[in-house]
Each structure stands twice: as C-alpha cells, then as structure tokens.
C-alpha cells in the first residue's frame, strides 16, 4: 500500500499535479523517477564537537565509534567494553545525574542486532545526551543500577521485551509480562499476533488463545 501512495509523497511543489499529466503521455515516467530520490535526503547527522567528545576520544580512542548531532540532539555510539566506565564518567565528571531512559532497538539485519540506548540528562547544564551501544544476540550488558537506581525497572523492561540480560542487576526478572511467559515481544522476529499459548491455556483457561 505505501508503494501505491508514492506519488502523494512529494507534496511541496504545489499545483504541479495538473501540468505533469501532459508530458507523461508522451514519455514513459522515467524523468520523474530521478526527481523522487532528490526529496528524501533529510538532514544527516553532523559530527558533534565539544570538549567532552575530545576528552572521551582521547581516553578511549576508537571505542568511541561516533559522536554526532541529529535534529539538535547529541548522541554517542560506543563499544560495549567501555560502556559502563563511560557512563560513570558522564555521571561523575560531566554532571549527567539523571538517567532518563534505558531502552533497546532490535535490528536483525546487523551482525550485532541489539542497540542499547541510554538517555541521560544533566540538571546542572540542562543538556541531554544519548549513549548507544550495539551488542550481539545472547550477549549480556553491564547493569547501570549501581550508577542510577532508576535503571532497575528500566533494565527489567528491556530484559522482558528483548531478552537482553544485564550482569549485576539485583533482581532481573520480567516486569510487564507474567513470570512464566515465553518469548520477548519487541524482538522483530516476534509477530504482533504471537503469544504464549501454553501460558494462556494453563493460567487463563482459554483453549485456542485469542
């Protein structure tokens, strides 16, 4: 269906629809096609240059894989081994005392399919930064509950939804789904209609699921 709607997508040239019809009859719709890709190039992330980034790059070298700004928001992509140390530095030295959110993104096309995203905020500087790290399927990540107690439930939710384990978490178990549930619903290979039929049958007494 989205393919059908494609002609609607470039709306900004107003009133161009009528005039376009006559040349279309004469020539095959080859010329409009190259025009279409000209639209999508949205703003690309620009490198984020700051004292913080230079310092971190100096300390960790290539383990800080990317430091960019997109839509006015700063983010860092780092490698897992330095993740905990880097977050600790951000908290203690750069004032990122508030961990807004811990979440994950599943991209099965990548070799390391899971991105862990930490959104941090500094009350002192009124700035936000996102720290992202990619991990392999089945790989665990270090917990940040020792840095921010708020990460406790947030990491439990990531575990519940993606099956990513956090080393050193005080109480890593499911939070939104029931304890005996099988499957991690926010993985891309988990269909939206899929559910743990066995659990539903035993605990709710519904034979066929829903």
Partner 1 sequence: MNDEKTARVLAPLPPETAAPNTFLDSNELIINMGPQHPATHGVLRVILRLDGEKVLGLECVIGYLHRGVEKIAENRTYAMFNPYVDRMDYVAAVSNGLGYCEAVEKLMHAEAPPRAKYIRVILTELNRIASHQLWLGTHALDIGAVTPLFYTFRDREEVLKIFEKYCGARLTTHAFRIGGCLYETYDGFEKEVRKFCDFVDPKIDEYEELLTTNRIWVERTRGVGVISGKDCIALGVTGPVLRASGVQWDLRKAQPYSAYPDFEFDIPTGQRGDTYDRYLVRMAEMRQSIRIIRQAVERIPEGPIMAKIPKVIKPPVGEVYHSIEAPKGELGYFIVSDGTTQPYRLRVRPPSFVNLQALELMVKGQLVADVVAVIGTLDIVLGEIDR
Tokens 């029931």 label which residue?
178
Q: Which stretch binds partner 1 (CB under 8 A): 17-25, 34-42, 48-56, 197-205?
A: 34-42
Residue 112 in contact with partner 1, rule: CB under 8 A: no
User: What separation in angstroms does the CA of 118 have from each of 39, 125, 153, 155?
Assistant: 32, 18, 14, 10
Using CB under 8 A as the binding rule, whether residue 89 contacts partner 1 is answered as no
Give least dist CB 43 to partner 1, A: 6
Binding to partner 1 (CB under 8 A) within 54-73 occurs at 70-71, 73
- CB nearer to partner 1: give 56 or 119: 119
Q: Where along the sequence are the contacts to partner 1 (CB under 8 A)?
A: 2, 5, 8-12, 40-43, 45, 70-71, 73, 97-101, 103, 105-106, 117, 119, 123, 126, 128, 130, 148-150, 152-154, 161, 174-178, 185-186, 190, 192
């Amino acid at each position: 269906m989205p393919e059908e709607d494609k002609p609607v997508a470039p709306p900004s040239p107003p009133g161009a629809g009528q005039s376009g019809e006559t040349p279309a009859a004469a020539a095959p719709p080859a010329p409009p096609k190259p025009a279409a890709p000209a639209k999508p190039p949205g703003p690309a992330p620009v490198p984020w240059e700051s004292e913080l980034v230079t310092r971190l790059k100096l300390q960790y070298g290539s383990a800080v894989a990317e430091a960019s700004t997109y839509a006015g928001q700063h983010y860092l992509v780092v490698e897992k081994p330095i993740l905990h140390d880097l977050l600790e530095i951000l908290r203690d030295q750069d004032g990122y005392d508030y961990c807004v959110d811990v979440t994950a993104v599943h991209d099965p096309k990548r070799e390391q399919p899971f991105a862990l995203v930490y959104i941090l905020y500094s009350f002192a500087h009124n700035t936000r930064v996102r720290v992202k790290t990619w991990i392999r399927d089945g790989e665990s990540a270090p917990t940040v509950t020792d840095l921010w107690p708020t990460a406790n439930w947030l990491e439990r939710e990531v575990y519940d939804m993606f099956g990513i384990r956090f080393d050193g978490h005080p109480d890593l178990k499911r939070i939104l789904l029931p304890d005996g549930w099988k499957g991690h619903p926010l993985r891309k290979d988990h269909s939206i209609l899929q559910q743990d039929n066995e659990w539903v049958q035993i605990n709710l007494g519904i034979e066929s699921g829903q």
